[in-house]
Structures are given as C-alpha cells and as structure tokens.
Amino acid sequence: RILKRQMLCRNDIDRLNAPFLAIYDSLIPAEEEKAKQKQLLTLLEKLVCKEWPKARLYLYGSCANSFGVSKSDIDVCLAIEDADINKSEILLRLADIFQSDNLQNVQALTRARVPIVKLMDPVTGISCDICINNILAVINTKLLRDYAQIDARLRQLAFIVKHWAKSRGVNETYQGTLSSYAYVLMCIHFLQQRRPAILPCLQEMETTYSATVDDIECAFFDQVEVLRNFGSCNKETISQLVWAFFNYWAYRHDYANSVISVRTGSILSKHAKDWTRRIGNDRHLICIEDPFQTSHDLGRVVDKHSIKVLREEFERAAYIMQYDPNPCVKLFEPY
C-alpha cells in the first residue's frame, strides 16, 4: 500500500528535493576547514618523524572518506613498523612529544578498545584522535571515498542519514546504536540495490588496487573516474531515495534472516555466515558485514533494547517521509 502511495505522491516527494539539498549544503565543510586539517596533519607529521623517521600519518574516518560534516574532529592513524615497542609505550611517548609542543588536552587512552592519543591544536582549534597501525581503517576509508566519487547521490543520502541519526540519538555505539561507518555502508548497499543500480560493487570488479593487511586481502576497482556515469540511467532524486531508504529499514529489510553486504553488492543469509545465534556479545539483530573484515558484523553493538529503539526510529522516519507536510523539519527534531 505504501509503495502505491509513493507512486501517487511522486510530485509531492520531489518538492522536497530543494530543502534536502539545502540541508546537505549546510553540512558540507568549508574549504578553509580542510586547509586547517592539512596544516595540523603537517605539524603532527613533523613532530612524529623527529622521533620515528620511518613512521607515516594517515587521515581516516569522516575527515578523509568525504562523509564528514563541518566542524568534525579528525581521526589520524600512525603507521609504524617498529616491532620492538608496544602500542601503549608509543602512545605515552606521543603524548609526551605533543605536550612539549604546546598542544592542548593531550591524553593517552591506552586501555580503550582502540587505544588512542587525544589532543587539541590551539592554532587551528581542531581536536584529533591518533591511533596506531589501524591500516584496515585507512583502506576502508579509501573504499568509502571512492564510492562517493561515483554518484553524488551517495554523499547527499549519507549526509542526510548521518544528520538524522545524530539528531535522533541513534549514532551512539556505546548505547547500542550504530556507528557513522555502519550508516554509510547501509547507504552504499542501498544504492547498489536500486534498479537500475546507482552504485556498482567495486570489490566484485577487476582489481586495480590491492593491499594485504593482517592476512586480509583488500582488493577492489579504484579507477572510479571511469564510473562517473554509472548511475545515470536511474533518475531517482534525493527525496525519493531518503523516502525509500527509511521505508526499506522500517518495513522491507528481513531482520530475521538477512545480512547486508557491500563486499558482494547483495544480501547474504545469516545462515550462510553462521550469524543465527548469539555468540558472546554478538547478537546479530541487525547484520551489516564489514567489507574487509568479513567476520565482523557492524551491527554487533546492537542489543535487545537498542534494536527496538532503532527500528522505531526507522518507522518514525518512514512515517514522516510518507505523511508529514514538512518532513525536513520533523525528521531532524531532537529526540
């Protein structure tokens, strides 16, 4: 019934394109901000290389995957091959180095799940987390950035979805809801599934980029310049896609049996992945396969309580997109 309604209301839905695009535009970081991030990275590189000349710094996460909104913190990965020293020692040494250079709020969190050093640069005002040898994160950042270059609608949809998730309080992994990384993968998978498809499956195409990290082979097609017209047969607009995205997660996704997989560009069965029962803390109540760490379910943070919260939020969003006269306001109302 809802599908029929949508067809009838297509003109209504299309009237929402301008407000959605205006929200998207307002979230894009200014060029000036990018320049400041570069400036901070250069400073950190200089300090780090004095101590470890062969070490390298890489940006990852939203500051480098093109899904970052303005005024975000930056995520940095220190790649260092020195096998003799352990991570905690490196982090503590880094903290010392940064402190002596007048960086502020320097803190080494050596016991965190992902151990990091945090700092704030008083010159640019940017805060930053530095982790060590998280090379898979650097590579999945590249995969996301490459997808974003294929069709502009991915970045638009992901900005709207992330903005919705933050406004509604469902972007908090420590409270059992999903990470930004998981939401972007949901958007990529959703656009791979449209007919005609809006995005291809880069990991199923000819390999033009490959790297092996911790025995995991990461290979995909990265010459995305040649894919710029890939989605052009599909004319769906951003408002239709936002509508369909929430409709999918509210009413159409098979939570009991399905795993979404960007790696294969398809839906896999929980059965095939042996994700049918709870093992330890992994409950697999909503299943999102990591594109490289395929045993890793990004939905594993979700528990019995938070799955309800999430699904109610998807239903609320779908309802608003269907019936609310002013969805661009209602959708993002603080919870």
Q: How far is the CB of 165 from ligand CTP (least distance, A)?
A: 9
CB of 89 to Mg ion, least distance (A): 25
Q: How far is the CB of 181 from ligand CTP (least distance, A)?
A: 4
Q: By the criterion CB under 6 A, which residues form the site for ligand CTP? A: 60-62, 65, 67-68, 72, 75, 136-137, 140-141, 179-181, 298
Residue 143's alpha-carbon distances to 182, 223, 325, in angstroms, are 13, 11, 37
Closest distance of CB 189 from ligand CTP, Å: 15
Q: Does 62 bind Mg ion (CB under 5 A)?
A: yes
* Closer of 33 and 243 to ligand CTP (Cβ): 33
β-strands 74-79, 127-132: how paired? parallel
Q: How many CA atoms lie within 13 A of 187 on its CB side?
A: 28
Q: Specify the length of the chain in residues.
A: 335
Question: Does residue 247 bind Mg ion (CB under 5 A)?
Answer: no
What's the rounded Cα separation, in Å, for the pair 179 and 187?
13
* Stretch binding Mg ion (CB under 5 A), from 57-65, 104-112, 160-168, 288-296: 57-65
Residue 68 or residue 176: which is nearer to ligand CTP going by CB?
Answer: 68
| Helix (H) and strand (E) counts in the chain | 12, 10
Q: From the CB of 161, what's the least distance to ligand CTP, in Å?
A: 11
Let me know the angle formed at the C-alpha of 273 by 306 and 259, rounded to the nearest 5 degrees. 45
Residue with nearest beta carbon to Mg ion? 61
Q: Is 240 in the site for Mg ion (CB under 5 A)?
A: no
Of 292 and 314, CB closest to ligand CTP: 292
221 binds, among Mg ion, ligand CTP, none (CB under 5 to 8 A by kind): none
Residues 243, 307: Cα–Cα separation, whole Å: 21
Exposed/middle/buried for residue 93 (C-beta within 10 Å: 0-12, 13-18, 19+): middle
CA 91 from centroid of its chain's CA atoms: 25
Chain positions contacting Mg ion, by CB under 5 A: 61-62, 75
